[in-house]
Chain A
Amino acid sequence: MAQTSVDRARRTAIIGRSLAGGAMRTWVQEAIAGYLFVTPAVLLLTIFLIIPILASVVLVFTEYSLLTPPRWIGLENLQRLLGDKRMFICYRNSLYITFGATALNNILGLLLAMGVNRKMPGILRYILRTALFFPVLTTTASLAVVWRFILTQDRGILNYLLQQIGLEPVPWLSSARWAIPSVILYDVWKSCGYLMVLYLAGLQGIPDVLYEAAKIDGANRWQLTRYITLPLITPTAFFCIVISLIGAFQIFDNAYVLTEGGPGDASRTIAMYIYEMAFKRYEMGYASAVALSLFVILVGLTLFQIWASRKWVHYE
């Protein structure tokens, strides 16, 4: 009890001090503390994020091969962008992968979430969730090595299974036609569990009361899904679609290990093209120009989705 009275005395003293003109000092102290607290993060982010962003804008106007100092070449890199056929092929590939993977990942993710989010024994739910989610945590590059073994034309596992059920073997990785579907297949295998978890969180956020009320009104299961689940999952779906589009547009590891961009440029993504320009050919200026074009496209795509979301996303 003595302790408390000492505390109380100290507290009163402090309050008294701050009332008697210490307020200014505490304000300054708080500001200094604030600056000290943010210093490590601000310093690191300035060096490794803010300066690089600004530098890449400057690099766009230069020719820089690391060996000689950067040379100012004005708009040449931007002009080169417009006539770069390979870049457009890579953009087309990335778009194909992005839309394929985003559509499949989101549809499967939502269906799986609706499947797991039902009454079942706890142990079964645990097994299902573990099985569906585990690939998400594995290393993209290493598992792509496994998928290479699965997809190879001769002695590949998938072709063996296809032949067992009487189908023709498919040249998954070696043909221009199947290279991108293979990359999409691998990405969906790797990521749909991740979207399942996000959709699951969204589903669990829908109040039970709504379902109960609708059931009392005699709604059947299809009506519950159509008029309650689907409208109320749209905010989650919007978030999921935005992040999966942005992620899929930047796919690198998958295609780099699985197909090495080939055959030819058939599955080279835009991230791989930037990598090639910057770190194989050391054209730092031009690589920055391509990277900035990617940034502009991503911002455009996201703004478009925010605009379009008004037409289909229901907010309470």
Chain B
Amino acid sequence: MAIVGAKGWTTRIRKFPARSASFYVGETIIWILLIAMAIIEVAPIMWMFSTSLRNPSESFELPPDFLPTSWRWDNYLAVIKSEKINFPLFFWNSLKIALIVMGAQLLTCSLAAFAFARLRFPGRDALFFLFLASMMVPSQVTTVPIFIIIRILHLMDTHWALILPSMTSAFGVFLLRQFFMTLPEELMDAAKIDGAGFFRIYWRIMLPLVGPGLSALGVFTFLWSWNNFYGPLLFLRSWDKLTFPLALVTLQGYMGMGNRAHVLAGIMMSIFPVLVFFLLAQRFVIRGIALTGLKA
């Protein structure tokens, strides 16, 4: 503690001479940049929110609102209750697929990651290297054959076409393996000596200790699936199977020319769950990204 005191003392001494005019100029520039960027990042979302609450016939009017001037919540109701576009169904489709994909990835990736990190079996390292190498291949290369496989399996225009290929990922295995590797070897030996089976060791001892890794993978798998546009675009055809992003883009072509407020109300509803989640778990999402370099 004495050192901290000393540090505070030295900085207090130096504070005054260090703050020249250029210090304030630099500080001002940084703050202007920060605030300007924050406004630029938020403005489109605020505009969307405000316009979604306008009277639909005024949704093209200029000047634009960045803060709501009217509160037509019935736009949201109109979108939800619309006869032509079944919004609750799209919401449910997206949610269902995202939850299944997330659950499946957490299970398959953690099982494999535990084995790659903590069990010894012939061919383990070769297998792991194969997965690692396959992570380098861009998705454009694999989508054409996956499309053909889905056709052969007669899964076109079903949600399985989106779920099956995403039920595991080389990245998830790799990420969780890193977490299992950090756990002490003694833990495993102690459990073995206590006579625990391998599944029990995985489920009861190791899995609870890699919580941060699991939650990072879970959050990002969910968001990835929720935001996925390319997959549904390839595999889904019928109107009642569409997921949120695809339905919104289609909706925009369908009624975007006539009714901007309704389209924007639809988009607001699709980002609302994400917004709430992020406001509650911001620190945690950001740590997950910093930890993994993974993009939602």
Chain A interface residues toward B at CB < 8 A: 7, 10-11, 14-15, 26-27, 29-35, 37-38, 40-42, 44-45, 47-53, 55-56, 59, 66, 108, 111-112, 114-116, 118, 126-150, 155, 157, 160, 189, 191-194, 197-198, 200-201, 212, 215-216, 220-222, 239, 243, 246-247, 249-250, 252-253, 256-257, 270-271, 274-275, 278-279, 284, 287-288, 291-292, 294-295, 298-299, 302
Q: Please judge, given known A-B contacts A7-B194, A34-B119, A129-B282, whether A66 and B148 are in contact too, CB under 8 Å.
A: yes
Min CB distance B190 to A, Å, is 10
Across-interface contacts of B208 in A (CB, < 8 A)? none
- Chain A proximity mask over B103-114: 1 for CB below 8 Å, otherwise 0: 000011101101
Q: How far is the CB of B279 from chain A (nearest CB, A)?
A: 7
Please give, as numbers and ranges, the residues of chain B lying within 8 Å of A150 by CB-CB distance. Answer: 44, 47
Residue from A146, A222, A288 within 8 A of B264 (CB atoms):
A146
Measured between beta carbons, the chain A residues less than 8 angstroms from B142 are 48-49, 52-53, 56
Q: Which residues of B are found within 8 Å of A249, using beta-carbon distances?
A: 138
B41 engages A193 (CB within 8 Å): yes
Residues in chain B near residue A116, CB distance under 8 A: 34
Query: Does the CB pair A55–B226 fall under 8 Å?
Result: no
Q: Which of B121-145 contact A (CB under 8 A)?
A: 121-122, 124, 127, 130-131, 134, 136-145
Query: Contact: A41 with B109, CB < 8 Å?
Result: yes
| Chain A proximity of B63: nearest CB distance (Å) | 7
Q: Which of B144, B256, B260, B279 has the most CB of A within 10 A?
A: B144
Please indicate which of the listed interface residues B146, B244, B295 has the most CB atoms of chain A within 10 Å of its own CB.
Answer: B295
In the assembled complex, the Cα of A249 lies from the Cα of B139 at a distance in Å of 12
Q: Which has the most chain A C-beta neighbours within 10 Å: B26, B148, B296?
A: B148
Please tell me if the beta carbons of B193 and A252 are within 8 angstroms of each other in the complex.
Answer: no
Which of B67-75, B80-88, B162-170, B210-218 interfaces with chain A? B162-170
- Please tell me the size bucket of the interface on B: 35 or more
Shortest beta-carbon distance from A138 to chain B in Å? 5
**Which chain B residues numbered 248 to 268 have a C-beta less than 8 Å away from chain A?**
248-249, 252, 256, 260, 263-264, 267
> Which residue on B lies nearest to A130, using beta carbons?
B282
Query: Is there an interface contact between A252 and B230, defined as CB atoms closer than 8 Å?
Result: yes
B136 — which chain A residues lie within 8 A by C-beta? 298-299, 302
Whether the pair B37, A40 counts as a contact (CB closer than 8 A) is: no
**When the two chains form their complex, are residues A40 and B144 in contact, meaning their CB atoms are under 8 A apart?**
no
A284 to B143, CA, bound (A): 10
Q: Tell me, yes or no, whether B195 is within 8 Å of chain A by CB.
A: yes
